[in-house]
């Protein structure tokens, strides 16, 4: 039976050691070739992706060229810019694959806004570093211009970086549009970089200075469009408990209650595997017959035959 799948691409699907456009496009080309078997299926497909290195580079460029003539753009605008840039690259390479397999499916990018709660307590605990490193003197000057901004020293001694909040998504504003398009067999790219965080204000939505975790945004979208499967692609084939310890254990097929117990026991690293686990749990609990899969890019297609990956279910 055909399924509706949301595929959350990890940073290794785009990021390379070289930051040029051509290098990133080569990485995306390899990623899309790896996913070719999925495009040959009749599954409905939505692709989300990260944007950490890209928005970091863009914020550095904005900072270095900031002037009265070319004022730096705020974080929410930079987020939308990277959604468009990476979406364009993905469209180009997906079109290449579709042509190779003789498919007439269309592909398109939706610049996605993700609603957050203005009272989310995470706004009071900014933890997400963004943009360039500053010396202490530069940081103090920036603080004078923007007293509300928060900067933290880098643990590796590289200077200070601005930190912003990472609130939880409560809705995806474009989810109905995305659902309609994907049900017509279009391949849709959405929630890039976790989407642009917005709060409801007056009769519209306004961007806020924050970053949403890509996996949480992907989960929320998957639940809202009633997807069957949330596939989170990362750099390991399976989830492990006691990772890199003598009693390391690979998880291949696990129910959500057991996974919740492992998470509560601190079996997964914060800021690494834990957010993916939490997103997977939320999705599986969002409806009946939902499955979350965590694996690496190379084994994405094999997971549908249960030959690879960690499968999470009720």
pLDDT digits (tens, 9 = 90+) for 72-128: 999 999 999 999 999 999 999 999 999 999 999 999 999 999 999 999 999 999 988
Q: What is the pTM of this model?
A: 0.92
Asked if 201 is an active-site residue, the reply is: no
Residues, the chain: 314
- What pLDDT sits at residue 10? 82
Q: Secondary structure of the chain in the HEC alphabet? A: CCCEEEEEECHHHCCCCCCCHHHHHHHHHHHHHHCHHHHHCCCEEEEEECCHHHHHHHHHHHHHCCCCCCCCCCHHHHHHHHHHHHHHHHHHHHHHHHHHCCCCCCEEECCCEEEECCCCHHHHCCCEEEEEEECHHHHHHHHHHCCCCEEEECCCCCCEEEEEECCCEEEECCHHHHHHHHHCCCEEECCHHHCEEEEEECCEEEECCECCCHHHHHHHHHHHCCCCEEEEEECCCCEEECCCCCCCEEECEEEHHHHHHHHHCCCCCCCCCHHHHHHHHHHHCCCCCCEEEEEEHHHCHHHHHCCCCEEEEC
Asked if 118 is an active-site residue, the reply is: no
Sign of the four-CA dihedral 242, 246, 250, 251: negative
- What pLDDT sits at residue 1? 63
Asked if 128 is an active-site residue, the reply is: yes
- What pLDDT sits at residue 59? 87
Residue of 56, 193, 214, 290 marked active site: 214
Domains with residue ranges and CATH for the chain: 2-124+164-302 (3.40.1160.10), 125-163 (no CATH)
Residue of 162, 220, 276, 290 marked active site: 276
Q: What is the mean pLDDT of each run of 10 residues along the chain (314 residues)?
A: 90 75 92 93 95 87 90 94 97 97 97 97 90 86 84 85 93 98 97 96 94 96 97 93 86 96 91 92 95 93 85 95
Residue of 3, 12, 108, 143 marked active site: 12
Asked if 176 is an active-site residue, the reply is: no
Asked if 11 is an active-site residue, the reply is: yes
Residue of 11, 108, 159, 207 marked active site: 11
- What pLDDT sits at residue 233? 95
Q: Of 258, 254, 257, which Cα lies nearest the Cα of 292?
A: 254
pLDDT digits (tens, 9 = 90+) for 230-244: 999 998 999 999 888
């Amino acid at each position: 039976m055909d399924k509706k799948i949301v595929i959350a691409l990890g940073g290794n699907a785009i990021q390379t050691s070289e930051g040029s456009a051509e290098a990133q496009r080569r990485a995306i080309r390899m990623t899309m070739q790896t996913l070719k078997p999925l495009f040959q299926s009749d599954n409905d497909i939505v692709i989300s992706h990260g944007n950490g290195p890209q928005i970091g580079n863009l914020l550095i460029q904005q900072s270095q060229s900031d002037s009265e003539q070319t004022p730096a753009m705020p974080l929410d605008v930079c987020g939308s810019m990277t959604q468009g840039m990476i979406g364009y690259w993905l469209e180009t390479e997906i079109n290449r694959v579709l042509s190779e397999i003789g498919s007439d499916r269309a592909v398109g990018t939706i610049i996605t806004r993700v609603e957050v709660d203005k009272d989310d307590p995470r706004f009071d605990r900014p933890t997400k570093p963004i943009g360039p490193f500053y010396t202490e003197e530069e940081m103090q000057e920036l603080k004078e211009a923007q007293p509300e901004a928060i900067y933290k020293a880098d643990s590796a001694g590289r200077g200070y970086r601005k930190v912003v909040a990472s609130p939880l998504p409560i809705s995806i504003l474009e989810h109905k549009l995305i659902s309609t398009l994907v049900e017509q067999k279009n391949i849709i790219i959405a929630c890039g970089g976790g989407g642009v965080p917005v709060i409801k204000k007056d009769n519209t939505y306004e961007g806020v200075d924050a970053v949403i975790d890509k996996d949480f945004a992907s989960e929320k979208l998957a639940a809202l469009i009633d997807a069957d499967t949330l596939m989170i692609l990362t750099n390991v084939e399976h989830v492990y408990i006691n990772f890199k310890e003598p009693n390391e254990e690979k998880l291949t097929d696990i129910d959500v209650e057991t996974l919740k117990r492992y998470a509560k026991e601190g079996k997964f690293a914060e800021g690494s595997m834990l957010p993916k686990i939490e997103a997977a749990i939320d999705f599986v609990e969002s409806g009946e017959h939902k499955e979350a899969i965590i694996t690496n890019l190379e084994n994405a297609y094999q997971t549908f035959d249960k030959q690879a990956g960690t499968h999470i279910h009720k």
